Chain A
Amino acid sequence: MSVSGFPAATPAPGPTVRSVRDELHGDLLEVSMGPHHPSTHGVFRMVATLDGETVTRLKPVFGYLHRNHEKIGENTTYLSSMPYTDRLDYLCSMTNNWAYALAVERLSGQAVPERAEYLRVILAELTRLLNHTCLAGFLLQDSGASGTPLMYAFREREKILDLFESLSGSRMMCNFQRFGGCRTDATPAWLGAAGALADGYGRFLDEFEELLTGNEILMARTQGVGRLPAALAVSAGVTGPVLRASGVDYDLRKVDGYGAYPRFAFRVPLGAHGDVYDRYMVRVLEMRESIGILREALRTIPDGPVMDPKAKIRGFRAKPGEVYSRIEGPKGEIGFYLISEGGPNPYRYRVRPPSLINLTILEDLCLGHTIADTVVILGSIDIVLGEVDR
């Protein structure tokens, strides 16, 4: 059903290189980058048509990790879908859990105790640190700084993953939020360890920035590359740090003010140019703001139950109705749209994946740049295929 001039059947995956004769431009080369590629952040494929080294057309192809998560959601109960949300954006399981729990709580009018709201903010900000650290490491890895910044980033990430492990039992697949609060409470020892991590993270960021931010090679490869105009970003539904790097002040933590966020003072960093360097710097600055929110939340977390005593774990049913609810995940706006008919399973369960929608502008950003830049641009958009494909 292809309406554009793009061939209807996409070529076979693998390192195929074909020459496509085009009258005006001479020989164009069609390169299929992926799906097995170390720099495409998962099983992701870009079919790039090159004029020499310049990209004249780029089509992303994905679906290799499609598990029809939305249909699984229709066939499972509300509670049993929670572990599956861990596996959407598998780096940020706590925020995925929260987004889903928030949607179900809005659907059913379930209240959440104060301590749980603060704990959710703490875990979400830790997840933001996790994600942005991982992105910074991988961006540099993809640019060719083979291993060093990545390993420094991961060495720091391990501390956060250890915190998650001691709280929820699992490093990545936390399955921690429930409808009405969190599954278990955080002990004072855990809160102390989180505080120590927040205090030490600033020093790590200083060292990381010392390594990278002034680095001439990084600046040459990322400044001016992949500029995203603000109007295109808004129209394309781009959200998260990519949108803010283009100068648009839209952070759901401020706009929607969900959870306990209205109680914390933090700034929203905005970029001026919208290029790859801005996206990297916006994330670094967001990490610094997250440390501030973390320390404040750890200092002011109230006592009390962490789960609403009236909340049902098993046999949960929502009233008939529908809701679309969204939070500011580390990659952008992650939303859940649920339609309930009053049964134990949702009638329609939809995930709004920020990574997929941020990919809308991939071709626009890559046109006119060299093929080496596509890797850097893709890295700066920050995708996780578990979320793109679901």
Chain B
Amino acid sequence: MLGTGLLQGLRVTARNLLGSFHDPKRFVTTQYPEERTKLPEAYRNFPFLVSESAEDPMGTLRCVACQICEKECPPQCIYIEKSRDKKPDANGKMQIYPAVFDIDTSVCMSCQICVEVCPFDAIEMDQVFELAATNRFEGLLLDRHALAKPNSYFHGIHPTEAAAVDARLAAARRASEEKARAAAAAKAAPKPAPADPAKAPAAPGAEAPRPSPPGP
């Protein structure tokens, strides 16, 4: 009979309409902003800078202003200026830090390449999308104060990744401490007695019983 296809279709729509009153699979709208969908852990939107502590965000930034992320960023939205002095970082080592670190979020496409290339795990992806500003130019330009967030925040939004990063950094710190200890032990070793003047004096490190372990 002509029209059976139409009637069949109407049956499908009726099923969906009536089903939407009791079956969550048929009614899938999230009433935002009263309800929010749970974002998956991997969701990414705009980067942020990781600080080790929340109390002193600028002093404990992991970033050492190496500018690799600035070079690799495809739309060139990162702007970095190195500092002229050095400050001790979270491990006590003297590092330069970024005096200026701006990300233009109106240009950033959240591609995550800056995160992939950072050798210091200093920049990670955030999950903020409610960033409406009243000014199209300065409002969307985030400086390092707006970008710096503590490591605890990173654990909150990306727990697996943050745990892996912490483990990696702790392992690197242990390895460098090992190296420092071995070098100190070698330095403290007694110097050799003045030998044949024809022989060139050997460097103290070469007298160590074992070569230093390779770096991380």
Identify the A interface with B (CB < 8 A). 76-77, 79-84, 86, 148, 152, 155, 158, 162, 165-170, 173, 175, 183-184, 207, 210-219, 313-314
The distance in angstroms between the C-alpha atoms of A314 and B70, with both chains bound, is 13
Instruction: Please name all residues of chain B whose beta carbon is closer than 8 Å to the beta carbon of A152 when the two chains form the complex.
Output: 16
Of residues 1 through 35 on chain B, the ones whose CB sits less than 8 Å from some CB of chain A are: 2-6, 8-9, 11-13, 16, 28
Asked if A313 and B116 sit within 8 Å, CB to CB, the answer is yes
Complex contacts, A314 vs chain B, CB 8 Å: 68, 72, 117
Is B41 among interface residues, defined by CB-CB distance under 8 A? Answer: yes
Does B113 sit at the interface, judged by CB under 8 A?
yes
Instruction: Name the residue on A nearest B158 (C-beta).
Output: A169
Given contacts A76-B74, A162-B40, contact A211 B117 (CB under 8 A): no
- Show 24 residue pairs from A and B whose CB-CB distance is below 8 angstroms, ordered by the A residue: A80-B73, A81-B74, A83-B109, A83-B111, A155-B28, A162-B40, A165-B39, A166-B41, A170-B110, A173-B111, A175-B111, A210-B12, A212-B9, A213-B5, A214-B4, A214-B5, A215-B5, A215-B9, A216-B2, A216-B6, A217-B6, A219-B5, A313-B117, A314-B72
> Which B-chain residue is minimally distant from A213 (CB atoms)?
B5
Q: Give every chain A residue within 8 A of B111 (Cβ-Cβ).
A: 82-83, 86, 173, 175
Provide the residues of chain B in CB contact with A83, threshold 8 Å.
74, 109, 111, 113
Is the CB–CB distance between B42 and A216 below 8 Å? no
A168 vs B110: C-alpha distance in the bound complex, in angstroms? Answer: 12
Q: What is B's interface to A at a CB cutoff of 8 Å?
A: 2-6, 8-9, 11-13, 16, 28, 39-44, 68, 72-74, 109-113, 116-117, 125
Min CB–CB distance B26 → chain A (angstroms) = 9
Given contacts A169-B112, A216-B3, contact A80 B74 (CB under 8 A): yes
Q: Across the interface, which residues of A come within 8 angstroms of B116, CB to CB?
A: 183, 313
Residues of A with C-beta under 8 A to B125: 169
Contacts of A170 in B (CB 8 A): 43-44, 110
Asked if A169 contacts B117 (CB within 8 A), the reply is no
How far is it, in angstroms, between the C-alpha of A79 and the C-alpha of B125 when the chains are bound?
A: 18
A326 to chain B, nearest CB (A): 24
**Closest CB-CB distance, A364 to chain B, in whole Å?**
30
Q: Which residue of B lies closest to A87 (CB)?
A: B109
Residue pair B72, A211 in contact (C-beta under 8 Å): no
A39–B38 CA distance with the chains assembled, in angstroms: 33
CA distance A48 to B117 in the complex (A): 50
Given B2, B43, B68, B113, which contacts A169 in the complex, CB threshold below 8 Å? Answer: B43
Measured between beta carbons, the chain A residues less than 8 angstroms from B112 are 169, 175
Q: CB distance B74 to A84 under 8 Å? A: yes
A148: B residues at CB distance < 8 A: 13
- Find out whether the CB atom of A210 lies under 8 angstroms from the CB atom of B113: no
Give me 9 other A-B pairs in contact (C-beta within 8 A), A211-B12, A216-B6 excluded: A80-B72, A148-B13, A165-B40, A166-B40, A169-B42, A169-B125, A175-B111, A183-B116, A214-B5
Q: A148 vs B9: C-alpha distance in the bound complex, in angstroms?
A: 10
Whether B113 and A80, one on each chain, are in contact in the complex, defined by CB atoms closer than 8 angstroms, is: yes
Query: Which B residues are in CB contact (< 8 Å) with A155?
Result: 28
Q: Would you call A158 and B28 a contact (CB within 8 A)? A: yes
Residues of B within 8 A of A86 (CB): 111
The CA of A170 and the CA of B40, in the complex, are separated in Å by 10
Q: Are B113 and A79 interface neighbours, CB within 8 A? A: yes
Residue of A at shortest CB range from B26?
Answer: A155
Closest 5 CB pairs of A and B: A214-B5, A83-B111, A166-B40, A169-B44, A80-B74
- Closest-CB distance, A73 to chain B (whole angstroms): 10
Q: Which residues of A contact B72 (CB under 8 A)?
A: 77, 79-80, 314
**Contact (A214, B8) CB under 8 Å given A158-B28, A170-B44:** yes
B40 to chain A: closest residue by CB: A166
Contact A165 B5, beta carbon cutoff 8 Å: no
Contact check, A173 vs B109: say whether CB atoms are below 8 A apart. Answer: yes
Known contacts A166-B40, A216-B2; decide if A173 and B110 are in contact (CB<8 Å). yes
Chain B neighbourhood of A166, CB < 8 A: 40-43
Q: CA separation between A167 and B73, bound complex, in Å?
A: 22
CA distance A210 to B6 in the complex (A): 10
Query: Shortest beta-carbon distance, B160 to chain A, in Å?
Result: 9
Task: Determine the chain A residues whose CB is within 8 A of the CB of B8 once the complex forms.
Answer: 210-211, 214-215
B12–A207 touching, CB < 8 Å: yes
> Across the interface, which residues of A come within 8 angstroms of B110, CB to CB?
170, 173
Q: How many angstroms between the C-alpha atoms of A219 and B9 in the bound complex?
A: 13
Alpha-carbon distance between A210 and B5 when the two chains are bound, in angstroms: 8
Instruction: Report the minimal beta-carbon distance from B38 to chain A, rounded to whole angstroms.
Output: 10
Nearest neighbor of B125 in chain A, beta-carbon distance: A169
Give the distance to chain A from B125, nearest Cβ to Cβ, in Å. 7
Contacts of B42 in A (CB 8 A): 165-169, 184
**Contact indicator A216/B74 (Cβ below 8 Å):** no
**How far does the alpha carbon of A53 sit from the alpha carbon of B5 in the complex, in Å?**
28
Minimum distance in angstroms from A317 CB to a CB of chain B = 14
A158 to B37, CA, bound (A): 12
Contact partner of B43 (CB less than 8 A), chosen from A158, A165, A210, A216, is A165
Which B residues lie within 8 Å of A77 (CB)? Answer: 72
Contacts of B44 in A (CB 8 A): 169-170
Which residues from chain A contact B68 at a C-beta distance below 8 Å?
Answer: 314
Within the complex, the shortest CB–CB distance from A211 to chain B, in Å, comes to 4
CA distance A175 to B72 in the complex (A): 14
